Amino acid sequence: MSEKRKPLLGFMGKLPSGPALGNSGKTHCPSCMGLFQAPRLLPCLHTVCTTCLEQLEPFSVVDIRGGDSDTSSEGSLFQELKPPGLRPQTGILCPVCDAQVDLPVGGVKALTIDHLAMNDVMLESLCGEGQGLVCDLCSDRDVEKRCQTCKANLCHFCCQAHRRQKKTTFHTVVDLKDLKGYSRVGKAILCPAHPAEELRLFCELCDQPVCRDCVVGAHREHPCDFTSNVIHKHGDSVRELLKNTQPRVEALEKALAQVKETNGALQQRVEAVAADIRTFSEGYIKAIEEHRDKLLKQLEDIRAQQENSLQLQKAQLEQLLADMRTGVEFTEHLLTSGSDLEILITKGVVVERLTKLNQVEYSARPRVNDKICFSPQEKAGRCRGYEVYGAINTKEVDPAKCVLQGKDLHRAREKQTASFTLLCKDAAGESMGRGGDNIQVAVVPKDKKDSPVRTMVQDNKDGTYGVSYTPKEPGIYKVLVCVKEQHVQGSPFTVTVRKKHHSHPGVFHCCTFCSSGGQKTARCACGGTMPGGYLGCGHGHKGHPGRPHWSCCGKFTEKSECTWTGGQSTARSLLRTVAL
């Protein structure tokens, strides 16, 4: 095998621009934020200093895969494969993405060394004219030169010694400032099993770089070749995988862009809706505040009006009381101290005054009451375009003025719902115009007072109440309607519950002859007959009522209840008519 040295991957190619070398993402540890020190490449392709990884808290994991894991590195290249099965392992979390990293047997130091990161650190240090670099030979002095053949950083003294040695006399030594345009100036990668040998070969069977000593040792008879000869095949496979991965990256970027766009639209929509909510709530608050002010002003007006009325009534009563006391005191004094002649002389004036005072009409009860209430659930119209609730009510329901209305007030039928309406009014006979009053209704059979009928009271919120009930049996029922535990006008009253409405089994016709099509056996409840053996009625013949009627019961009203009570055979004969 002959080694062919060709920079296939551009290891010594010039960079298009120097500033990119200073990218902290390539040279600085994401954990300690300093330059990489012995950087290790994690399976998630993040690079972290060895020291930073050793400071992470490990945890126990169980490896059920068996054999080597994907965290193997140069330090585990030559370890023998263990039989598959459960193997207790330790793991750490990547400090960048929190991905689980299963540590190999050698721990953190057995992870793959990131030589690219080391090269970038070297380049950045060289851009700083060797600041922080020490000689690779003496490890004491600052670096001034670099041997391109040995890939070693040298101080001035070691550089001179390097030139004097016969073996390294013809090596290419350059100044550090001349290396700033290169993309790679890293050290040679040595074999972990044979530290004196450089990794220049690749074992196809084990799929790992090896040195010359490895070829004649552990990798004897394995297909091996120089890295420069196999890089084409393996580089092409990596490029093909990269080519297949890039579309997914683009798809993910597009999906991420859509998610961000949707998130932006969502935020805008949320802000717009929030603005609508604030506008609505602010307007609603203003409407409520305005309605509140109106209610408070209305309440104040009611207070002033009723207070004035009470003050006027008070003044009138006080004046009348003063006049009464004056008349009583004068009359008592006259009767006790006056002579007969004095009494007779002043009798006319006293009688006239007392009579006039006794004829003065006055109300013993206050003209107004304190029954002022607030109904928060009562609709109060619209304010600033918003529906508002809450109204002040000063009316008090008067049971004696309440009225019962409805066609089913005194009649009903068994097993059919009957209903009537209660109209509540105040003492002045005006409708309350609101609901919320305590209405009590009871429907009790006259002969079964311990079995009341279930009733329903519907508050219409306008001063009227719908009352409904369903009697189960015919008979006489007593209905009691009370407001504030007092009977309303017309309560209690009786209701006659009749049997369920019976429909007509016959036909409503002019005569039997016409409705039956001339059948002789057809009959009619009117009792009319025709000559010639016809059992039913006919126009102008005996017994015909002279107007349309029901064949089953003889009633003349089409929409009426059937009163026929005949037997089943009679019913069949009466129903032998057809509607023509």
Q: Is the peptide bond before 30 cis (omega within 30 degrees of 0)?
A: no
Residue 438 lies in a domain: yes
pLDDT at 25 (0 to 100):
60
Domain ends where: 437, 469, 498?
498
The domain containing residue 307 runs over which residues?
Answer: 229-359
| pLDDT block averages, 10 residues each, the chain of length 580 | 38 36 66 85 89 87 50 41 57 89 85 81 65 73 79 83 84 75 66 84 90 89 89 87 88 92 94 95 94 94 91 92 93 91 91 92 80 83 90 85 88 88 88 85 86 90 91 90 91 87 83 87 87 86 88 85 64 43
pLDDT at 534 (0 to 100):
87
pLDDT at 27 (0 to 100):
81
The answer on 306 and 234 residing in a single domain is yes
Residue 65 lies in a domain: no
**Distance between CA atoms of residues 212 and 227, nearest Å:** 12
Tokens 């409904």 correspond to: 468
The answer on 401 and 328 residing in a single domain is no
Which DSSP string do the residues of 388-407 spell out, in sequence order?
A: EEEEEE---B-GGG-EEE-T
Domain ends where: 498, 519, 552?
498
Give CA torsion, residues 530, 531, 535, 538, to 10 deg: -10
Residue 405 lies in a domain: yes
Contacts of 36 (CB under 8 A, 6+ apart): 27, 28, 29, 47, 49, 114, 117, 118, 120, 121
Residue 420 lies in a domain: yes
Structural domains counted in the chain = 2
H/E stretch holding 263 reads: helix 227-337
Do the Cβ atoms of 89 and 39 come closer than 8 Å? no
The answer on 341 and 410 residing in a single domain is no
Six-digit token string for 89: 């392992």
The answer on 417 and 481 residing in a single domain is yes
**Distance between CA atoms of residues 98 and 113, nearest Å:** 20
The answer on 305 and 259 residing in a single domain is yes
The answer on 415 and 333 residing in a single domain is no
Which 3 state secondary structure label does DSSP give 47? strand
Do the Cβ atoms of 396 and 369 come closer than 8 Å? yes
The answer on 459 and 340 residing in a single domain is no
Instruction: Classify residue 182 by its DSSP letter.
Output: B
Q: Smallest Cα–Cα separation from 102: which of 110, 90, 114?
A: 90
**Distance between CA atoms of residues 189 and 197, nearest Å:** 9
Residue 330 lies in a domain: yes
H/E stretch holding 255 reads: helix 227-337
Do the Cβ atoms of 100 and 118 come closer than 8 Å? no
Residue 568 lies in a domain: no
The answer on 401 and 320 residing in a single domain is no
Identify residue 361 by its one-letter amino acid code: E
Angstrom distances, CA of residue 77 to CA of 202, 207, 208, 223:
12, 10, 8, 16
| Region of residue 414 (left: phi > 0; alpha: psi -120 to 50; beta: else) | beta
Domain ends where: 311, 335, 359?
359
pLDDT at 8 (0 to 100):
33
Instruction: Classify residue 557 by its DSSP letter.
Output: -
**Distance between CA atoms of residues 330 and 352, nearest Å:** 13
Residue 66 lies in a domain: no
The answer on 336 and 247 residing in a single domain is yes
What is the rounded radius of gyration, in angstroms, for the C-alpha atoms of the chain? 58
- Tell me the CATH number at 431: 2.60.40.10
The answer on 330 and 249 residing in a single domain is yes
The answer on 339 and 421 residing in a single domain is no
pLDDT at 577 (0 to 100):
44
Residue 253 lies in a domain: yes
Angstrom distances, CA of residue 456 to CA of 377, 407, 425, 459:
21, 17, 21, 10
Six-digit token string for 463: 């001063």
**Distance between CA atoms of residues 45 and 49, nearest Å:** 13
Please provide the distance, in angstroms rounded to a whole number, between the alpha carbons at the two ends of the chain.
Answer: 120
Identify residue 530 by its one-letter amino acid code: M
The answer on 422 and 337 residing in a single domain is no
**pTM of the predicted model as reported, rounded to 2 decimal places:** 0.46
Do the Cβ atoms of 97 and 46 come closer than 8 Å? yes
**Distance between CA atoms of residues 218 and 176, nearest Å:** 40
